[in-house]
Structure 1
Amino acid sequence: MAISFLPMVLFPLPPSLFVTVMSIISCLSLANGGYMETKGKHMQYSKFFSVADSKKSKDQEIKLSSRSGMLLLYTPAFLVGHVSFAIFHNRDLRFIMVISVLTIHFFKRVLEVLLVHKYSGSMALDAAISISLSYTISTATMIYAQYLSQSFDEPAMDLKYIGTTLFLIGITGNFYHHYILSNLRKKGDSGYRIPKGGLFNLVICPHYLFEIIQFVGVACICQTVYSFSFTLGTAFYLMGRSYATREWYILKFGDKFHKDVKALVPYIF
C-alpha cells in the first residue's frame, strides 16, 4: 500500500548513480549520527561535548572561535544555493522554489550566527570543515536531483504549496526559539540556564522540532527521493540530539529541570 502510494507523491529516482547512492548514504549517516548522540558521541560543537573528548589530540587541533566556525559551517551551502540561480538556466517553478528555500535557510543561519547567537567556546577546524562539507554536498545534491527531475512528469499529488507553508512555519518557529536561547545569556555570561518561553515549557528542543517541520516542507516542495531520504535522516538525527540534550539538562540541573518537559515532541517524546 505504502509503496504503491509513493509514485503519487514522488518523482521517479533519476538515472544518476550519484543521486541514488547519496539518497542512501544521507539517510543512514544522519540516522546513525542521531543514534550516536544518544550514546554520548557528540559533535564537537555541541555544548555537551565532553571535556574528556575535547582533550583528545588537543595539541594537534587548530581551533576557531565559535562564531567563525559556525560561519564556516553554513556559508558554503548558502553560496551553493545562491550560485545555482546563475548555473541552472532551464528552470521550472518547483526548481526555483527549491533553490530559493535552501538559499533562504542557510542565509537565515548565517544571519543568526552574525546577529543572534551568543558564544562562549571554540570549534576544531577539522570538525567545522567536515560538517561544512556535509551541508554543502547535501544542498548541492538536493538541487541537482531536482534539476534532473524536471524531465519527469509531475507527481499526481502536488505538495509544493503545502511544503511552502510548512517551510515558513518551520523557519519562523526555529528563529523564534533561537532568539529565546540567545537572550538567556547576559553580556559576559558564559553559563547555561534552563530555557523558558515559547514551546520550551513543553520540550527542551523546540528549535529542532521546527527545523524538522522546515525540512519536511522542503521535501514536500522537492518531492524527490533524495529530499525525503535526507529529511528522514535529519529527523532521526535531531531526535537523537534532542534526547541527548534533555539528558544533559537533567544531569546538569537535577531537580531544577522539570521532568514533564519532553525532548522534542510535546507530551510524547
Structure 2
Amino acid sequence: MNIFQSILYPPPPSLFLNAMSVVSVISLANVGISELRGTHLSYSKFWNWKEAVSAKSATATGAKVSARTGMLLLYAPALVAAVAAFFVPGVMAAPRGALVTAAIGLHFLKRVLEVLFVHQFSGNMMIDSALVITFSYLYNTVLIIYSQYLSKNMPEPQIDLTYVGIVLFLVGIIGNFYHHCLLAKLREKGDKTYKIPKGGLFNLVICPHYLFEIIDLFGVALISQTIHPFCFAFGSMFYLMGRSLATRKWYMSKFEDFPTRVKALIPYIF
C-alpha cells in the first residue's frame, strides 16, 4: 500500500468530481504561469503595471467595480455555499463533514471580514476578472464539501491527519491575518501610495500572507484527506508562487532600495 492510499480516502465514485480535481490543478497552475509571463488578472497593483502586463491587459476596458466591492464579490458566494452546506441533509453525516465545512467557511469568513474592516483599497476591479475568481472559489468550495460527502461510505485512511490539519489550518489563517494587518497599517486612510512592507516575515519574503494562505489550504486538505482539497491546495500553491514572483519583480521595479535578500514566498529559498 503506497503513501497515498494510507493518507487519502479512495477516489470518489464521480467522474465529474475527479475530472474537476484535475481541472483545478491545471487551471490554477496555468494562471500562476500567466502571472510570471506578465499577464495578470485585472486587480490590485498589477493592473496599472504597464511594463509587465500584456498589451491587452494594459488597455483593458469594460465594466468595473470598486476594489472593495469586487473583493466582496470574490469571497461572499463561497462563504454562503459553506454556510448553506450545514443545512443540506447528509453533508454533516460524512466523516469530518462538519470540520471540513467549518474550516472552509472560516477561511472565507475571515476574508470577507478583512475586506470590510482591515484592507485598504486603491482603484477598481474589472468585472470579468472578478467573476472568474468568484467562480473558482465557489465551485472549489462546493466540490471540497461534496468530496467529503462522498467519503461517508468509504474506509477511513490508515493514517489520521485530522489534528495535524487543524494545527496547520490555524497557523495558516492566523499568520495570513497578521500579515494582512501589517499591510493595512502601511497606509493611512485615503493614502493610495505603495510602500515596502515591513515586520513579521515581510523582512524575509515579500508575500508571507500567500505563504500562510497555502498553509491554511493544506490544513483544510489534511482535515479532509480527500483528493479534491489537495488538488485545490496544490493548484493554489502554484498560482501563488507565480503571483509572489510577479509581486517581488514589481517591488524591485518600483523601489530602488528594495532589499534583494527578501525572497518571494519561502524565506531564504524562493
TM-score band by shorter chain is over 0.9
Q: Which residue of 2 aligns with 1:104?
A: 106
1:185-220 deviation digits (Å, cap 9, x = unpaired): 112211000000000000000000000110110110
AA of the residue aligned to 2:31: G
Deviation at 1:225, TM superposition (A): 1.1
Aligned pair count? 264
Q: Which residue of 1 aligns with 2:8?
A: 10
**Offset, 1:113:** 0.3
AA at the equivalent of 1:147: Y
Q: 1:225 & 1:85 partners in 2: Cα distance? A: 21
1:227 alignment partner, SS class: helix
1:70 and 2:71 are equivalent in the alignment: yes
d(CA) in 2 for partners of 1:168, 1:182: 21
Note closer, same or farther for the CA distance 1:192–1:57 as it changes in structure 2 (3 Å cut). closer
Offset, 1:88? 3.2
Match of 1:141 in 2: 143
Q: After the TM superposition, which of the residue ranges 227-236 and 73-82 deviates more from structure 2? A: 227-236
Q: Deviations over 1:19-53 (max 9, x none)?
A: 11111000011111111111111111131123454
Instruction: Specify every segment of 5 or more residues in structure 1 that has no aligned partner in the other structure, as ranges.
Output: none
From 32, 35, 56, the counterpart of 1:34: 32
Partner deviation per Cα, 1:122-162 (whole Å, 9 max, x = no partner): 01112211210110001001110110011101000000110
Alpha-carbon distance in structure 2 between the residues aligned to 1:210 and 1:122 = 26
Counterpart-to-counterpart distance in 2, 1:44 and 1:57? 8
State the alpha-carbon separation in 2 of the partners of residues 55 and 41 from structure 1.
Answer: 9
Root-mean-square deviation (Å): 1.3
Equivalences for residues 120-135 of structure 1 within 5 A = 120-135=122-137
The answer to whether residue 232 in structure 2 is matched with residue 227 in structure 1 is no
- Give the structure-2-normalised TM-score: 0.95
In structure 2, the gaps of 5 or more residues are none
CA distance in 1 between counterparts of 2:244 and 2:254 reads 15
Q: Provide the secondary structure at the position in 1 that maps to 2:65.
A: strand
Residue 47 of structure 1 aligns to a residue whose secondary structure is: helix
Q: Map 1:188-207; keep pairs closer than 5 Å.
A: 188-207=190-209
Aligned match of 2:157: 155
Q: Give how far 1:55 is off.
A: 5.0
CA contact (8 A) 2:36 2:242 kept: yes
Q: For residues 6 and 55 of structure 1, do their structure 2 counterparts lie closer, same or farther at Cα, with a shift above 3 Å needed?
A: closer
| Aligned equivalents of 1:22, 1:150: Cα separation in 2 | 20
Q: Deviations over 1:80-99 (max 9, x none)?
A: 00000001335145111000
The list of structure 1 runs, each at least 4 consecutive aligned residues, that deviate by more than 4 angstroms after superposition, is 51-55
SS of corresponding position for 1:48? helix
- Residue 212 of structure 1 aligns with which residue? 214
Alpha-carbon distance change, 122 to 247 in structure 1, aligned in 2, over 3 angstroms? same
Identical amino acids, percent of aligned pairs: 53
Q: Relative to structure 1, is the Cα distance of residues 245 and 193 closer, same or farther in structure 2, using a 3 angstrom cutoff?
A: same
Separation in structure 2 between the aligned mates of residue 232 and residue 164 of structure 1, nearest angstrom: 18
Q: Which amino acid aligns with 2:35?
A: E
Q: Which residue of 1 aligns with 2:252?
A: 250
Distance 1:74 1:87 in 2: 21
Q: CA deviation at 1:230?
A: 1.1
SS in 2 for 1:30: helix
Which amino acid in the other structure matches residue 71 of structure 2? M
